[in-house]
Amino acid sequence: MTSPLPLHPPAVVGTGTILLRGGRVLDPAAGTDEIRDVLVRDGTIVAVGEGLDPHADAATDAATDAGADPGTPGGAATSTDVEVIDCTGHWVTPGFVDVHTHLREPGFEDAEDIGTGSAAGAAGGYTALCPMANTDPVCDSAAVAELVWRRGREVALVDLYPVGSITKGLAGQELTEFGELAHSAARIDFFSDDGMPVADALVMRRALQYALAFDAVLCNHAQDPSLTADAQMNEGEWSSVLGLPGWPHEAEEIMIARDLILAEGLGARLHVPHVTTAGAVALIRQAKERGIRVTAEATPHHLSLTDDLVASYDPVLKVNPPVRTADDVHALREALADGTIDAVATDHAPHAPELKDQEWEHAPCGMLGLETAFAVVNTELVATGVLDPLTAIARLTVGPASVRDVGDHGGAIAPGRPANLAVVDPDHTWTVDAGALHSRARNTPFAGRALRGKPVHTLLRGRFTLRDGRVRQDAEVTA
């Protein structure tokens, strides 16, 4: 099992010419923030510049952009099919990349499947998602990883980069066959037991050590389980009043500290998922200064919601790790701005409605995220001046792309590169309607909220997966 099997469906590539005209191009890889046209031909960006002519041939287009190499791929096939998309007032960005997604297939299709989850991703401006391993069966074999990857190709709305489990069955004991997954068609270089922390320090140490052979990244849910038995919400003033068992910030920080120490000793790569506490931010900031190979993510909900909201006992707000205090939110925002936190990740976690319609303590943890992520970041962080637009887009694109290998996603908007792009309207204000989401589940904590900013178009290799706010309908979406 050292090379991809021959029967895998090829990646879908767009055909024809698309001119994204007059948008504000935010290209974090190049540091570009300027009004530009972007010309796409047969799935590939062929020119970025001013006043591009979509009818000119590829060589001419490319020449209008200083430094571009005429005759780059895409220039060969000239099509008469030309579409001009007016992007005035919109941002043109790399397609978003989510390193932390739950698509629930296989096993929990009553909450989400790869069709509905991919549609949610496309609607959210994403071109690449990393579905987590806590499916049934668990993604601890090439068979499961390739199933997920292949379904993604068939649906063809986003590219899927599955996450393999660190341990077999998420049991925290025996290592998953990293090599088998790395060499599968899904080419997995990122492993996580998701919500199940690898509690045993020796298992984690061996996993980090073994992963060195594949330059793989390990992502460990940062929660010391002995400190969080029965935990229901952030431990603090509100858990005290609401009578809910607390999830102390120390439980997150102790696990991160342990993993950072282990990773430093081994020179291994560590990714810290959904950072939520000010103390965790300080640990990661210090680790980066020391040169430890660590990346980190924060979710839109932890960047915007606080534990006082739990006073409603609405289980839609139940999530692990829990929403924290205003001080923690402030620290997370600073960390996202200064790059201590590399990526915004959704931890998109669909749950069937009947599971969330229970008493708080019995409801499962998790929130939807893909379709609101950009809007929450834009509303809470950009409109408030915490992040400039280019930095915000960086945390949705090049940031997550630095966490693991996601192919051509999240990179530069430049001639010769696959046209994985998002076009967003940063000023469009809309009210979140849980029933109108593409996800099969409805558990968004932002339901009823007015948010600012919405993806208008998403292109995967030059093919519209979202166009004028509508997800393309020919895809195998089973919602």
Q: Which residues are catalytic?
A: 347
Angle, vertex CA 320, rays to CA 388 and CA 342, nearest 5? 30
Q: CB 331 → another protein: shortest distance, Å?
A: 18
**CB nearer to another protein: pick between 232 and 397:** 232
Q: CB 436 → another protein: shortest distance, Å?
A: 22
Q: CB 97 → another protein: shortest distance, Å?
A: 37
Query: 118, 151 in Cβ contact below 8 A?
Result: no
**CB nearer to another protein: pick between 57 and 327:** 327
The rounded radius of gyration (Å) of the Cα atoms in the chain is 22
Q: How many residues does the chain have?
A: 479
**CB nearer to another protein: pick between 94 and 236:** 236
93 bridge partner residues: 422
Side-chain-side CA neighbours of residue 272 (13 Å): 33
Q: Which residue has the tokens 């291994």?
A: 268
Phi, psi dihedrals of residue 192, rounded to the nearest 5°: -155, 140
**CB nearer to another protein: pick between 173 and 358:** 358
Side-chain-side CA neighbours of residue 151 (13 Å): 21
Instruction: Characterise 34 by phi-psi region: left (phi > 0), alpha (psi -120 to 50), beta (else).
Output: beta
Q: CB 447 → another protein: shortest distance, Å?
A: 14
Query: 38, 421 in Cβ contact below 8 A?
Result: yes
Q: CB 306 → another protein: shortest distance, Å?
A: 14
**CB nearer to another protein: pick between 78 and 312:** 312
430 bridge partner residues: 451
**CB nearer to another protein: pick between 241 and 326:** 241
The residues of the shown chain that bind another protein, judged by CB under 8 A, are 232, 235-237, 239-246, 248, 312-313, 354, 357-362
Q: Which residue has the tokens 């299709």?
A: 109
Q: Which residues, in sequence order, are CB contacts of 366 under 8 Å at separation 6+? A: 102, 318, 319, 320, 347, 349, 350, 351, 443
Q: CB 240 → another protein: shortest distance, Å?
A: 4
Q: Which residue has the tokens 């430890």?
A: 292
